[in-house]
Amino acid sequence: MSHVEEEDGEPLSPMARVFQSPGNNCCIVTMIGCKTKINADVILRALNHNVSKHPRFSSKLSNDGVSWIKTQVNVEDHVHVVDIDPKEIGEKGENFVEDYVSSLTMLPLDKSKPLWDIHILNVKTSDAEAVCVIRSHHSLGDGTSLMSLLVACTQKTSVLDTFPSIPVHKPRKIVHREKGSWFLRSILAIFSSARLIWNTLVDILLALAIILFLKDTKTPLKGDVGVESNPNKFCHRIVSLDDIKNIKEVMNMTINDVLLGVTQAALSRYLSNFPGKIRLTAGVFVNLRPYTGIQVGAILLARAASNTTTSISNMVGPMEEISFHGHEIAYIAPSVYGHAHALTIHFLSYADKMVISIGVDTKVVPNPHKLCDEMEDSLKAMKAAILERELL
């Protein structure tokens, strides 16, 4: 590759450069279950039409790793149709898919071409007739941008040639009652602003403390040093989104509150030797604006991961069931690997479902299916408690 091409490349964003740094080599892996067998020829034709339109999926890293270089994509080099003998697999479709995806976590993406690949597994599981595994480096984009790309490439199953939609978050409207003086309303507004500023300062100080010295309570869930290099295993569970929404409404909380409650209850039930008082921390990362200090950003990200126990994410998916060129999608289960957590939990809403996707280092969490069971049982217990009190 010539030097001129290197100079003409688009620079990586600061966060993309962080994900290219040692110790932060993070990949997104998404298991998409289909209701029919997957026609590989159809997928290849569609990708040939779509991939060239997306700059990240049609660019590769420069030799110095600081810019994206536009390249001609040979889709056949990125799509792998796995040769499967159904007679050998029998009813162990889930095991085959999980083992195959786990093996991918030990197979680095080829940096001589765009950092993504697709694996087609025409094997029947309990939730699908076939599974498509999409793997992409985290520097290509975050979960939200990749979900937007997926939606842009699909159609509503119910109405063909119609794009699906993702719900837009609408902030709660503050209704000012006519009763009460302007002075009282002003006092309340000042108090609300002061509380927002105080909570923001507390969050900033807590984040700094986590980066510098504050570590989560040591539990069996925390992996050892170097956990980011270990193989991962992924499994998922599909639950009712309506159940979560009903609990949210009755308890006057957010969906995130319900999901965190389910997670806390499930982890407590999963570990019989769980300490009585523990500290588990979740963090939110935003784009780093300056181009200087990338190494510092990478160090801070690594420190935050090493001092916390797990990653938990909730992402909004399509409101309706979607299809990709005639392939109806049964579920979407995203996860990540290559970061310093032995347990990662992703929630993704899809139509009337909530997909719980769990990624683990099996040396730390040897039975992720048991943890999925606990997540499902915890949600059922919440619903039963509300029904018992006749709140639903």
The closest alpha carbon to 207, from 261, 142, 147, 286, belongs to 286
* Spatial contact of 50 and 358, defined as CB atoms under 8 Å apart: no
- Classify burial at 105, counting beta carbons within 10 Å of its beta carbon; exposed 0-12, middle 13-18, buried 19 or more: buried
Distance CA 222, CA 361 (A): 10
The tokens for 136 are 């992409």
The closest alpha carbon to 357, from 127, 154, 136, belongs to 127
Q: Are strands 116-121 and 130-137 parallel, antiparallel or unpaired?
A: antiparallel
- Those residues with Cβ within 8 angstroms of residue 228's Cβ, 6 or more apart along the chain or in another chain: 23, 25, 338, 339, 340
The dihedral built from the CA positions of residue 60, 62, 68 and 69, taken in this order, carries a sign that is negative
Known catalytic membership, residue 138 = yes
Please, which residues bridge with residue 11 across strands? 67
Compute CA distances 121 → 94, 101, 226, whole Å. 11, 10, 30
- Sheet hosting strand 233-240, strand order edge to edge: 233-240, 353-360, 343-350, 311-316
* Spatial contact of 114 and 73, defined as CB atoms under 8 Å apart: yes
The closest alpha carbon to 299, from 18, 11, 14, belongs to 18
* Spatial contact of 306 and 340, defined as CB atoms under 8 Å apart: yes
The single residue of 119, 138, 327, 341 carrying the catalytic annotation is 138
Catalytic residues: 138
